[in-house]
């Protein structure tokens, strides 16, 4: 796919790769949209509870129950330039899927739009971040995901922070909510090149202080990636690898609101709908609204 065609050409290319499912408030066509949503139903490297491939569908179903008007932001999402191109087609090859994600987001960015990716497992973020080499990265995650390879696969979901470091370099990645790290990861000589903000630190010091300490280090462009297991399982139980003592949903919303206008790419993933009653997908849908609403509102948070 080239990067020199017009937007209508790109719309045709993307529609050939995706299904027709869409989020309820995504009422604009691709040419006129500012936000482009797409799903990646991929979970073939998941190591505990599989099922995140169902995530994009469940988020869209949950979103149907959200009001289009939000009083906090003072916006009607159905009137905002949002497009949903559906789910891209994937197979069982993680490397091919990561490359496809890179290709799709490259098109969206070349058309000066904001990609919003719904997963699927966290491995797919390794394709996204290749298009944001000028950016800082904020990750919400219970796990450091810093293995160089896991189960013989460098594109495993347990390796995504390591792959992102290879793209962005030292001092550009800030991961909130960490509370699970293997000895192998901790002893990796590159581990200290990523700033891991433990969930215990956030609990003891507050999200405002935790954010203020890293804010001066951030670039003007941000890629924001939410692994739903970064949030405490009491609020987001339907995830592939739950870990107790996590962040609050309001902590994540705080970071989104503070950074929204700098965020040039956004993903939300790693929820397994079979393991809860719909709460996790609903929270994911609301966080998508929080991101778009925070960019579009005239209010200050």
pLDDT class for 4, splitting at 50, 70, 90? very low
Confidence band of 94 (pLDDT split at 50, 70, 90)? confident
In degrees and rounded to multiples of 5, residue 104 shows phi and psi of -65, -45
Q: What is the largest CA-CA distance in the chain?
A: 51
pLDDT value for 232: 97
List, in sequence order, every beta strand (DSSP E) within 104-166: 114-119, 136-140
Nearest in space to 257 (alpha carbons), one of 202, 203, 297: 297
Helical H segments across the chain, by residue range: 7-17, 55-63, 94-110, 125-128, 160-168, 183-186, 199-205, 207-214, 249-259, 279-296
Inform me whether the pLDDT recorded for 176 exceeds 80: yes
Is residue 114 predicted with pLDDT exceeding 90?
A: yes
pLDDT exceeds cutoff 50 at 2: no
Q: What CATH architecture applies to the domain 7-42+49-296?
A: 3-Layer(aba) Sandwich (3.40)
Q: Is the pTM higher than 0.85?
A: yes
How many angstroms separate the CA atoms of 163 and 146, rounded? 8
The per-residue pLDDT of the chain, averaged, comes to 91
DSSP structure string for 206-247: -HHHHHHHHGGG--SSEEEEEEGGGB-TTT---BSS--SS-B
pLDDT at residue 58 tops 50: yes
pLDDT tens digits, one per residue of 38-52: 999 988 766 677 767
CB 53 within 8 A of CB 119: no
């Amino acid at each position: 796919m080239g990067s020199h065609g017009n937007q209508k050409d790109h719309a045709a290319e993307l529609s050939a790769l995706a299904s027709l499912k869409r989020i309820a408030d995504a009422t604009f066509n691709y040419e006129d949209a500012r936000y482009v949503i797409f799903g990646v139903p991929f979970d073939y490297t998941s190591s505990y509870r599989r099922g995140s491939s169902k995530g994009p569908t469940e988020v869209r179903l949950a979103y149907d129950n959200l009001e289009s008007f939000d009083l906090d932001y003072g916006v009607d999402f159905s009137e905002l330039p949002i497009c949903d191109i559906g789910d891209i087609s994937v197979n069982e090859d993680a490397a091919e899927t990561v490359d496809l994600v890179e290709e799709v987001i490259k098109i969206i960015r070349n058309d000066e739009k904001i990609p919003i990716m719904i997963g699927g497992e966290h491995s797919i973020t390794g394709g996204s971040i290749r298009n944001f080499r000028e950016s800082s990265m904020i990750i919400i995650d219970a796990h450091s995901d810093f293995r160089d390879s896991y189960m013989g696969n460098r594109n495993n979901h347990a390796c995504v922070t390591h792959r992102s470091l290879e793209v962005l370099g030292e001092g550009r990645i800030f991961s909130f909510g960490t509370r699970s790290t293997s000895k192998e990861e901790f002893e990796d000589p590159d581990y200290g090149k990523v700033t891991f903000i433990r969930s215990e630190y956030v609990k003891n010091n507050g999200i405002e202080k935790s954010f203020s300490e890293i804010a001066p280090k951030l670039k003007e462009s941000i890629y924001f990636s939410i692994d739903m297991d970064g949030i405490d399982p009491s609020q987001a139980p339907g995830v592939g690898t739950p870990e107790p003592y996590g962040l609050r949903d309001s902590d994540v919303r705080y970071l989104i609101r503070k950074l929204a206008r700098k965020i040039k790419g956004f993903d939300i993933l790693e929820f397994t709908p079979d393991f809860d009653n719909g709460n996790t997908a609903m929270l994911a849908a609301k966080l998508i609204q929080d991101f778009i609403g925070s960019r579009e509102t005239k209010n200050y948070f």
